[in-house]
Amino acid sequence: MADFGLLHDLFTPATSKIVLLVMDGLGGLPREVNGPTELEFANTPNLDRLASEGNLGLMTPVRAGIAPGSGPAHLALFGYDAVEYQIGRGVLESLGINFDLTPRDVAARGNFCTVDAEGSITDRRAGRIPTSKCIELVNKLRPITLPGIEVFVEPVQDYRFCLVLRGDGLNAHLDDTDPQRKAPPLPVTARVPEAQHTADLVNRWIAQAREILKNESPANALTLRGFAVDPGLPRFPDVYKLRSTCVAVYPMYKGVSKLVGMDIVQFEGGKPEDEFKAVADNWDKYDFFFVHIKYTDSRGEDGDFEAKAKVIEGVDAALPQLMTLKPDVLIVTGDHSTPSAMKGHSWHPLPVLLHAPGLTRRDECKAFGETEAIKGALGRFPATDLMQLALAYAKRLQKFGA
């Protein structure tokens, strides 16, 4: 974990700019023994030039051997101990749609689903209904009220929505209602006695929602999971003294950024060049830009080696546009590995590229890749060290001690 206390005493005024470019699930694996990974297979002349000028290293996301989800992986990148600070999916989803959570809120992620005549789930995603349908259904659920508390229902995307209860004494230690098999949705159960009142309220809400949805098709039921409260993380802009913003397309990543107190840039489009334009448009307003590229992870999850490489090539092609801004520190890495060979997240360490003109030593790395990174001057380090390094290379820290 980053040493917030130590940093607090060391900040020095600076105007430097830091860009943290995260290609989700960047780390990969070869298709054949001793072959290249997706990143190594991709044609990336711009990243390779930056690698040759700057330094590479390898970064462990959360712990040795642990494959993190996106939430913990990003918390680690931001310098937080992801095992100490665990965040529920409900909170991430709510924050991702710009819902303003308060400390009195319990949030859950909802899925519209399809149940058969016996009430058993036949499609956990209700045929992936479009977002427009999701909005329509959410609007039908909004009128449901519960005694003594406020209730918010908000659409997210496709079949996904958020449920937020706001009131005093609510408790998020509740089990998911998704049975994870062909069976009816479960009632909410309290994991601790203090959560029984909240469980009762949620079950009353579910009963009313079921009545409203029963004649819909295909989304005639719902499940709730990831009940959570805002864990009250130290605020990123405060602990690092950086005016900080997130440039991302997917709600989840905006959510985790908002959770740590970053601003969220609104922009049009979803391509790397759109995201880099959003950085340029906001260049003077911020010191730190977290730029998130989603599709490296998506293509890795699909198991499509060449498509993942293509996403990386797309980022590389747009990179000169970002470099015209001349960031003082550019870091390019991922949040975790998503090797297409595994079609999922893995524990493998992440290649890190750090470009900070005039401040990096020579190493033997000539291209950006996992194998080259073994020789990198940054060596091997935990993800939670990354922000301290970023501050250092941005000359935002003074000497510690006399």
Question: Within 345-364, which residues bind a second copy (CB under 8 A)?
Answer: 345-349, 357-364
Residues 18-57 that bind a second copy (CB under 8 A): 29-30, 33-37, 40, 52-53
User: Which lies closer to a second copy via its Cβ, residue 8 or residue 142?
Assistant: 8
* 375 touches a second copy by CB under 8 A: yes
Q: Taking Cα atoms as reference points, which of 276, 275, 233 lies closest to residue 257?
A: 233
Residues 170-229 that bind a second copy (CB under 8 A): 226
In the complex, least distance from residue 183 CB atom to a second copy, rounded to whole angstroms:
20
Q: Are 161 and 153 in contact (CB under 8 A)?
A: yes
Q: Taking Cα atoms as reference points, which of 101, 216, 233 lies closest to residue 159?
A: 216
User: Which lies closer to a second copy via its Cβ, residue 220 or residue 257?
Assistant: 257
Helix (H) or strand (E) holding 106: strand 105-115
Residues 265-304 that bind a second copy (CB under 8 A): none
Strands 55-60 and 379-382: parallel
Residues 222-241 that bind a second copy (CB under 8 A): 226
Segment contacting a second copy by CB under 8 A, of 229-237, 308-316, 326-334, 339-347: 339-347
Applying CB under 8 A, which of residues 15, 148, 168, 400 lies at the interface with a second copy? 400
User: Which lies closer to a second copy via its Cβ, residue 299 or residue 336?
Assistant: 336
- How far is Cα 66 from Cα 335, in angstroms, rounded to an integer? 13
What length does the chain have? Answer: 402
Count of residues that interact with a second copy, criterion CB under 8 A:
71
Q: Specify the DSSP class assigned to residue 271.
A: S
- How far is Cα 39 from Cα 348, in angstroms, rounded to an integer? 14
The SS3 assignment for 202 reads helix
Segment contacting a second copy by CB under 8 A, of 59-67, 135-143, 182-190, 204-212: 59-67
Applying CB under 8 A, which of residues 8, 45, 86, 183 lies at the interface with a second copy? 86
Applying CB under 8 A, which of residues 25, 71, 110, 251 lies at the interface with a second copy? 71
Applying CB under 8 A, which of residues 248, 293, 354, 397 lies at the interface with a second copy? 397
Specify burial of residue 180 (Cβ count, 10 A radius: 0-12, 13-18, 19+): exposed
- How far is Cα 287 from Cα 237, in angstroms, rounded to an integer? 10
Residues 106-145 that bind a second copy (CB under 8 A): none
Applying CB under 8 A, which of residues 66, 186, 249, 323 lies at the interface with a second copy? 66
User: Which lies closer to a second copy via its Cβ, residue 186 or residue 359?
Assistant: 359
Q: Specify the DSSP class assigned to residue 185.
A: P
User: Which lies closer to a second copy via its Cβ, residue 109 or residue 299?
Assistant: 109
Segment contacting a second copy by CB under 8 A, of 126-134, 169-177, 280-288, 388-396: 388-396
Give Cα separations from 55 to 24, 210, 216, 354, 383 (angstroms). Answer: 20, 56, 56, 5, 16
Q: Are 390 and 331 in contact (CB under 8 A)?
A: yes
| Residue given tokens 């699909």 in the structure block | 302
Phi/psi of residue 267, each to 5°? -155, 165
Applying CB under 8 A, which of residues 17, 50, 72, 329 lies at the interface with a second copy? 72
In the complex, least distance from residue 365 CB atom to a second copy, rounded to whole angstroms:
10
Applying CB under 8 A, which of residues 144, 190, 233, 341 lies at the interface with a second copy? 341
